[in-house]
Structure 1
Amino acid sequence: MADLLTHVLVAYAVFTVVSWYADRITPKWVAIGAIGSMVPDLNRIGMFVSEVWIESALGVGFRFGALSTLGGAMLLCGIGAMLFARDRRYAFAVLGGGALTHLLVDAVKAWADGQAAAWLYPMTWWRHATPSLYVSSDWWVAVGAVLVAGTVWFCDRVWIGKSSAAR
């Protein structure tokens, strides 16, 4: 899935560049940020699990589409942060940062009606006009993400000299 790969590579590049300036962002946290970039795509679980089944199990209305919004992503990041014994707040921030990179990249893709999804929910249902820079299935977006992430990886290993063994 090129769309998922693109989101992971963008988050990797962003968190690696941030790690050059922030000592607390170690390779472990770069990987956790990349995992956070996959959180909004958890709405794809709807292909395998029925929303009706979830509604009957929870006893409240449920839609998988809400997971790809800011509120849904932050809820899932909060649940994911519970896995960290000591650094829950930091894990939440890093997972949330990864999810935010995903939502920002999706905010500029093309939609049939010219407006992005209501990704700012629960703050607002407003749908901004999108510049329609790409379609999720465009191959050049994935190739561009690979080139950018590869360049960042090369700079990190060669010029910056911060390999995972050095930290």
Structure 2
Amino acid sequence: MAELLSHVLIAYALATAASWHYEWLTKRWVAIAMIGALLPDINRIGLFVTDATLESALGVPFDLNAVHTLGGVVLLAVVGAMVVDTHHRRTFGVLLAGALSHLLVDGLKVYADGAAGAWLYPLTWYRHPTPSLYVSADPAVLAVAGLAALLVWLRDRTRPKPETDQ
């Protein structure tokens, strides 16, 4: 759970910092980016439901691990963009940005064989060498992500707001 919270905090920090440069990126969109950071870990549903159960329900072969790839998060962002009333393209982009932050951070963690997962699928099956910067269960990762989010939150609260002409 600490890793999931870390991804949400990282997405918050990145989206909030980006909101300082893009006027349209309000707190609503920051929250949507945070939801996007959760998308790759939807494959955790596999802890409760087997692939065989999903295959019989959907009628097609299905593997939940495909969700934790570029192709999987693009499809989930498309579905997420379709369920909103307006701003479909913006919703897609913000959801995808949050999900990409998740995939990029996961590309830096330690893997037993020294290569990250094939998260670039369907573009390639290549598994790039990982710098092995952290172990996902390390509480220091959550502490660093929490500190970064706190610093961004404090900066966001104290920064001067742009004046609007009325």
TM-score for both structures, normalised by structure 1: 0.95
Instruction: Tell me which residue corresponds to 1:87.
Output: 87
The unaligned stretches of length 5 or more in structure 2 are none
Secondary structure of 1:125 counterpart: coil
Q: Which range moves more in the overlay, 49-58 or 29-38?
A: 49-58
Which letter maps to 2:61? G
Which letter maps to 2:100? L
Instruction: Tell me which residue corresponds to 1:140.
Output: 140
Instruction: Tell me which residue corresponds to 1:52.
Output: 52
| Distance of 2:88 and 2:129 partners within structure 1 | 35
Which letter maps to 2:115? Q
| Distance of 2:85 and 2:129 partners within structure 1 | 41
Over the residues paired in the alignment, what is the CA RMSD in angstroms?
Answer: 1.0
TM-superposition CA deviations, 1:2-22 (whole Å, max 9, x none): 000100000000000000000
Work out the percentage of aligned pairs sharing the same amino acid: 54
1:158 paired with 2:158, answer yes
CA drift at 1:159? 2.3
TM-superposition CA deviations, 1:15-61 (whole Å, max 9, x none): 00000000010000000000100000000000111110111122221
Asked if 2 retains the 8 angstrom alpha-carbon contact of 1:20 and 1:160, the reply is: no
1:24 paired with 2:21, answer no
Instruction: Tell me which residue corresponds to 1:110.
Output: 110
Secondary structure of 2:123 counterpart: coil
CA drift at 1:160? 4.0
Secondary structure of 1:37 counterpart: helix
CA drift at 1:161? 4.4
CA drift at 1:123? 0.6
Which letter maps to 1:78? V
Asked if 2 retains the 8 angstrom alpha-carbon contact of 1:19 and 1:25, the reply is: yes
| Distance of 1:17 and 1:45 partners within structure 2 | 31
Which letter maps to 1:15? A
**Deviating runs (4+, > 2 A) in structure 1?**
159-162
Asked if 2 retains the 8 angstrom alpha-carbon contact of 1:54 and 1:62, the reply is: yes
Instruction: Tell me which residue corresponds to 2:8.
Output: 8
| Distance of 2:160 and 2:105 partners within structure 1 | 26
Total equivalences in the alignment: 162
